[in-house]
Amino acid sequence: MKTISHFLALIMCAFIISACTSSGKLEYEVAASAAECPFAIDEITTCVDIFTENKNVIYKLVIDETDFTIQDINNPEGKSSMKENLLLNLLTNDDTETQDFLKWVKEAKYNIIYRYIGASTGESMDVTIYNHEL
């Protein structure tokens, strides 16, 4: 019985230590944000999931394709424009939570991927913000 208690204590210590690292904090925040899904980003975009995979934080976003489709913007110019706007919004946002999130992303050396999925077509495209761009 004593061995099991020590084993459980070691597991709890490992969990607490990992939560104190940037990647641990990032994983915790991503899980907490994912619990809030789905939520509206704007009038045409809904965030349906947030998760980490292969050193990336991935936002899965569904787009209402009433006025345009993913295919309309899935080109170098469209992606570049979207990436510029996303970076501008991230880097100029002075909200403490956003700044903490960016700090943990940078320290953990993760990228951020915005995965846009068309609500009616199901087509998708990724806009990636690499760690060195943050």
What mean pLDDT is predicted for residues 56-70?
94
- Number of domains present in the structure of the chain: 1
68: pLDDT confidence band, cut at 50, 70 and 90? confident
For 29-47, write each residue's pLDDT tens digit.
Answer: 999 999 999 999 999 999 9
What is d(CA 14, CA 81) in angstroms, rounded to the nearest whole number? 43
Residue 90 lies in a domain: yes
The CATH number of residue 93's host domain is 3.30.300.250
- Residues of the domain holding 117: 22-133
Residue 12 lies in a domain: no
For 71-104, write each residue's pLDDT tens digit.
Answer: 888 999 999 999 999 999 999 998 998 899 999 9
Residue 8 lies in a domain: no
DSSP 57-114: EEEEEEE--SS--HHHH-SHHHHHHHHHHHHHHHHH---HHHHHHHHHHHHHT-EEEE
23: pLDDT confidence band, cut at 50, 70 and 90? confident
**CA–CA distances in Å: residue 24 to residues 27, 95, 111:** 5, 21, 15
Provide the mean pLDDT of the chain: 86
Residue 121 lies in a domain: yes
Q: In what order do the strands lie in the sheet with 124-129?
A: 39-40, 45-53, 56-63, 111-118, 124-129
